[in-house]
Amino acid sequence: MNLEINFTPELINTHFAPLAVLFAHYQDKKCLEPLQQVRIPMRSRYFDPAEKLIQILLSLLAGCETLSEMTGRLKHEQGLVSLIGRDHFADQSSLSRTLDALTLKNIDELRSSSGQIWKSRSWVMQRDWRKFLWLDYDLSALPCGPTAEQAMKGYFADKKTPMDGS
C-alpha cells in the first residue's frame, strides 16, 4: 500500500492525519484481523460487529473518552472514514448496542484477539532475552566524551554543567 500525504487546496482534510497514517499501516499489515474472530450475536445492517469494534478503537485513538464524543469529533472526518472503506461512521448508539451485546464468551474472544494484536507488534515479545539488557540510571548530567560507550546527548531541565568539568 502506498500512502501519500500532500497539500490540497481544501481548507481542512482531516484533523487526524497521524491517526489516518497509523490506521493505514494497520490495514496494510493486517494487524486488526484478529478482531474478526470475535463473533458477536447480533444482526448487522450496514456495519458488521468487527467493523464496529474497529471504529470504537479509532475513537479511542482519536481521544474520545466516551462513544458520544465520537459523533462530534469523528462524524464528519471524510478523510478518516474513507480509510475504513465506508462513507460514514456508525452512530454512537449502534456502537453502544454492539458493546452491550457482548457476552462473556465474546469478551474472552476480544481479550484473546487484542492479545494477538499487541503481541505481534510488541518489541518486548520479540526481544532476545538471552542477551543482557542495559539500563542507564545516570542522572548526574555530567558531560561524557566521544569515546564513552553508547553515549547520547540528553536533556536536563535547569541543569547547566560547564563544559570544562568544573
Supply the pTM of this predicted model: 0.69
Question: Binning pLDDT at 50, 70 and 90, where does residue 102 land?
Answer: very high
DSSP states along 110-152:
HHHHHHHHHHHH-HHHHS-TTS--------S-----TTSTT--
Residue 25 cell numbers, joined: 499501516
Confidence at residue 156, expressed as pLDDT on a 0 to 100 scale: 60
pLDDT tens sequence across 33-77: 999 999 998 887 889 999 999 999 999 999 999 999 988 888 888
Confidence at residue 99, expressed as pLDDT on a 0 to 100 scale: 94
Confidence at residue 153, expressed as pLDDT on a 0 to 100 scale: 64
* Alpha carbon distance 90, 96 (integer Å): 10
Mean pLDDT of all residues in 14-41 = 88
Q: Is the pLDDT of residue 161 over 60?
A: no
- The SS3 of residue 106 is helix
* Alpha carbon distance 13, 69 (integer Å): 20
Q: Which residue has the cell 478482531?
A: 35
* Domain range summary for the chain, segments of one domain joined by +: 17-126
Confidence at residue 75, expressed as pLDDT on a 0 to 100 scale: 80
pLDDT tens sequence across 107-158: 999 999 999 988 888 887 888 888 888 777 766 666 666 677 776 666 666 6
Confidence at residue 11, expressed as pLDDT on a 0 to 100 scale: 63
Q: Which residue has the cell 500500500?
A: 1
* Alpha carbon distance 65, 75 (integer Å): 15
Cα 71 to chain center, whole Å?
A: 20
**Residue 84 burial (C-beta neighbours within 10 Å; 0-12, 13-18, 19+):** middle
For residue 99, what are the CA distances in angstroms to 48, 90, 135?
13, 13, 41
2 or 135, higher pLDDT: 135
